[in-house]
Structure 1
């Protein structure tokens, strides 16, 4: 699947953001991961008083998709911030970039409020244990 409605995917990320649990930082993030078969999995960040135990929205969506058997992905949209709208660009953290790179190539689209970026642009030095 190469054609998709990037605005609809971004709106799904904004909607997922509403479920975020962010009582410590106030920084709520939502993600919508589009599978190659058209399914969309959403996720939100879940904070914890022990900060290393926090879970990012992108990884929540990715883990939900993988748990349902998905392994091929077409795009992800990410919306986050402290304000009420989804206008602030919210880049995925390094860990989420690496997690996405486990399943997605450098041309994988990452949709933010400021446009589309590729995973290769966001993670130029991807770590790989094996060559595909």
Structure 2
């Protein structure tokens, strides 16, 4: 199933809007019940308004009523093992626990991390109380 999730992240890259960086990213997020939601990056001339693939995928899943996730695959057109950025990691921690498996496409192989490894000591709801 890892191959299928990575393939979904690769496939959605073709929908990216990246006129400035030409760096296509796709993400495929698997829900606890096995449904997969995909997202791609959407750049804006004002870079701070750009949307990242992981954000688009999780927004689509949450919009459709999902709140429990098991795995996330991330792939770039360069197959360089891209990981979610800090902003995306924080967004993921809002809906995913530290055990979320993050699969990073390196072309011939896939690196695996947990969200907790990528973002230890995260800002959480408990910290805000």
Specify if TM > 0.5.
yes
Aligned to 1:12: 8
Aligned to 1:43: 39
Alpha-carbon distance in structure 1 between the residues aligned to 2:99 and 2:36: 19
Aligned to 1:26: 22
Alpha-carbon distance in structure 2 between the residues aligned to 1:67 and 1:130: 24
Structure 2's unaligned 5+ residue stretches are none
Selected match of 1:110 from 102, 106, 111:
102
How do residues 1-132 of structure 1 correspond to structure 2 at under 5 angstroms?
5-81=1-77, 83=78, 87-113=79-105, 114-130=110-126
Deviation track 1:16-48 (CA, whole Å, cap 9, x = no partner) reads 111111000111100000001111000000000
Deviation track 1:85-121 (CA, whole Å, cap 9, x = no partner) reads xx31111110100011111111110001232111011
Alpha-carbon distance in structure 1 between the residues aligned to 2:64 and 2:97: 21
Q: What is the TM-score with the length of structure 2 in the denominator?
A: 0.91
Q: What is the TM-score with the length of structure 1 in the denominator?
A: 0.89
**Structure 1 or 2: larger helix share?**
2
Alpha-carbon distance in structure 2 between the residues aligned to 1:29 and 1:60: 11
